């Protein structure tokens, strides 16, 4: 891989151990994927922040980087952590909070923004065509497909290395020829709500692996539904983007038909506890948009969350600040607006939650393994109805 003189100096350790370590990660990655050079990035988004999913081992590495004066060179944001500053902090053991704070402290020392959200694209406008190094798979697919930005699916360490160097290896989806659709998905039927988009994503992710589909019927889909599709397609497969425009009939391209009965079957697989009452109704995977906050607040206005049911709405601090009235409305109803966290990266099992009702196919998919809970997958309006009526 070609390196500039400055990049070579960094690789040789002339700019300190932290920069050398990060450059080594990027060069190794670039060589693995036959990148010819490094390219500048406009932003990085780092995942693996939650103590629940990260564990103890990487804390020493983060501390070593921060001790060696590692500093980010581009805007760098963080994915959700394992607890919010108020509600869950008061319910979970103190030592977990201490460990989580230690992780955040190291990222702060390196200059990462404590955004704590999987929807960093709500924080500021993502420029079309900008090259980025993002590590949250749902945000990667959404920004490539809906926002027109360019990012590979990074791991936490490579996104952090890219943030510190300000560059990423030029391979994969950073090259125009790798962004072309190579399979046409013909959806036979109409998706009714955002949860259906998530179910389609889970179904397609399994079949497509890393292929790039163009999917009919998406042109006028609401962005919140495309967010569900993005999160779900990345959950079961390695697809990094999708397109909206159907390819010409004449174009020789693989074709895949998806029937509504396929999606019904996928929904049944995800809904492992459809006949039970939930302990928790959870909305906000991926983190809620301003629009979603407004809709939820409107729906619970003047109502009370049913006794015995937890009702959580997860979003970023940024969106919560912009929708303070809505957050207060949700909390007046007995719900909790939790910032910087979600059920998947927190310890719901330690709170005795055994059944989670959600509108998110991604959360439903992970519930049995990561949350040790059964899932009820249903559209937002059904989730809200259950939250207040039981």
CB of 99 to ligand F3S, least distance (A): 18
For position 283 contacting ligand F3S by CB under 6 A, the verdict is no
User: Among 74, 231, 280, 330, which residue interacts with ligand F3S (rule: CB under 6 A)?
Assistant: 231
For position 293 contacting ligand F3S by CB under 6 A, the verdict is no
For position 342 contacting ligand F3S by CB under 6 A, the verdict is yes
How many Å apart are CA 133 and CA 118, to the nearest integer? 14
How many Å apart are CA 88 and CA 375, to the nearest integer? 21
Nearer to ligand F3S, 19 or 137 (CB): 137
For position 25 contacting ligand F3S by CB under 6 A, the verdict is no
Q: Which stretch binds ligand F3S (CB under 6 A): 17-25, 148-156, 192-200, 338-346?
A: 338-346
CB of 271 to ligand F3S, least distance (A): 17
Handedness of CA 313, 317, 320, 324 (dihedral sign): positive
CA distances from 289 to 35, 175, 227, 284, 293 (A): 36, 30, 10, 8, 6
Nearer to ligand F3S, 313 or 342 (CB): 342
User: Which two structure tokens, joined as six digits, stand for 123?
Assistant: 């924080």
Q: At what angle do helices 194-208 and 361-370 cross, to 10 degrees?
A: 70
For position 344 contacting ligand F3S by CB under 6 A, the verdict is yes
The phi and psi torsions of 78 (rounded to 5 degrees) equal -120, 145
The phi and psi torsions of 230 (rounded to 5 degrees) equal -60, -45
Alpha helices in the chain (DSSP H): 5-11, 17-32, 51-54, 57-67, 87-91, 94-109, 137-145, 156-165, 194-208, 223-236, 260-270, 290-300, 317-322, 324-332, 361-370, 380-389
Burial classification of residue 340, based on how many CB atoms lie within 10 Å of its CB (0-12 exposed, 13-18 middle, 19 or more buried): buried
Nearer to ligand F3S, 214 or 315 (CB): 315
User: Among 45, 243, 318, 362, which residue interacts with ligand F3S (rule: CB under 6 A)?
Assistant: 362
Q: Which stretch binds ligand F3S (CB under 6 A): 165-173, 210-218, 282-290, 380-388?
A: 282-290
User: Among 45, 287, 318, 320, which residue interacts with ligand F3S (rule: CB under 6 A)?
Assistant: 287
CB of 312 to ligand F3S, least distance (A): 11
Nearer to ligand F3S, 10 or 195 (CB): 195
For position 226 contacting ligand F3S by CB under 6 A, the verdict is no
User: Among 141, 232, 285, 337, which residue interacts with ligand F3S (rule: CB under 6 A)?
Assistant: 285
Cβ atoms 224, 291 nearer than 8 A: yes
Residue recorded with tokens 């990222």:
107
CB of 137 to ligand F3S, least distance (A): 8
How many Å apart are CA 332 and CA 96, to the nearest integer? 29
Residues in contact with ligand F3S, shown as a per-residue x/- string from 111 to 140 under the rule CB under 6 A: -------x-------------------x--
CB of 370 to ligand F3S, least distance (A): 8
How many Å apart are CA 23 and CA 359, to the nearest integer? 41
Q: Which stretch binds ligand F3S (CB under 6 A): 91-99, 155-163, 325-333, 341-349?
A: 341-349
Nearer to ligand F3S, 203 or 287 (CB): 287
Q: Is residue 13 helix, strand or coil?
A: coil
DSSP code of residue 127: P
Cβ atoms 266, 202 nearer than 8 A: yes
Task: Determine the size of the site formed for ligand F3S (CB under 6 A).
Answer: 14
CB of 374 to ligand F3S, least distance (A): 17
For position 201 contacting ligand F3S by CB under 6 A, the verdict is no
For position 159 contacting ligand F3S by CB under 6 A, the verdict is no
Q: Is residue 132 helix, strand or coil?
A: strand
User: Among 30, 120, 286, 335, which residue interacts with ligand F3S (rule: CB under 6 A)?
Assistant: 286
Contact set with ligand F3S (CB under 6 A): 79-80, 118, 138, 231, 285-287, 314, 342, 344-345, 362-363
């Amino acid at each position: 891989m070609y390196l500039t003189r400055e990049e070579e100096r960094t690789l040789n350790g002339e700019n300190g151990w932290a920069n050398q370590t990060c450059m080594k990660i990027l060069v190794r990655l670039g060589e693995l994927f036959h990148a010819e050079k490094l390219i500048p990035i406009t932003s990085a988004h780092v995942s693996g922040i939650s103590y629940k999913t990260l564990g103890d081992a990487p804390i020493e590495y983060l501390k070593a980087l921060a001790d060696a004066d590692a500093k980010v060179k581009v805007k760098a944001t963080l994915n959700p952590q394992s607890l919010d500053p108020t509600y869950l902090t008061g319910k979970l053991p103190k030592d977990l909070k201490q460990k989580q704070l230690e992780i955040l402290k190291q990222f702060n020392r390196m200059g990462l923004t404590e955004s704590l959200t999987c929807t960093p694209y709500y924080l500021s406008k993502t420029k079309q065509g900008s090259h980025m190094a993002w590590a949250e798979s749902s945000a990667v697919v959404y920004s490539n497909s809906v926002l027109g930005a360019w990012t590979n699916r990074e791991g936490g360490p490579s996104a952090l290395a890219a943030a510190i160097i300000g560059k990423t290896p030029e391979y994969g989806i950073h090259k125009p020829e790798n962004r072309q659709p190579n399979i046409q998905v013909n959806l036979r039927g109409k998706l009714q709500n955002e949860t259906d988009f998530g179910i389609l994503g889970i179904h397609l992710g399994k079949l497509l692996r890393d292929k790039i589909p163009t999917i009919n019927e998406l042109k006028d889909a609401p962005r919140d539904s495309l967010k569900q599709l993005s999160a779900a397609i990345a959950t079961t497969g390695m697809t990094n983007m999708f397109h909206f425009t159907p390819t010409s009939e004449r174009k020789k391209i693989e074709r895949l038909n998806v029937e509504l009965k396929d999606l019904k079957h996928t929904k049944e697989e995800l809904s492992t506890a459809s006949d039970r009452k939930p302990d928790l109704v959870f909305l906000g995977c991926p983190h809620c948009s301003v629009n979603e906050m407004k809709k939820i607040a409107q729906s619970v206005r003047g109502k009370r969350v049913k006794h015995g049911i937890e009702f959580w709405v997860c979003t970023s601090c940024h969106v919560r600040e912009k929708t303070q009235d809505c957050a207060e409305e949700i909390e007046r109803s007995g719900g909790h607006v939790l910032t910087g966290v979600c059920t998947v990266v927190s310890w719901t099992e330690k709170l005795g939650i055994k059944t989670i009702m959600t509108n998110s196919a991604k959360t439903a998919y992970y519930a049995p393994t990561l949350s040790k809970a059964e899932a009820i997958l249903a559209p937002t309006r059904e989730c809200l109805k259950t939250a207040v009526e039981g």
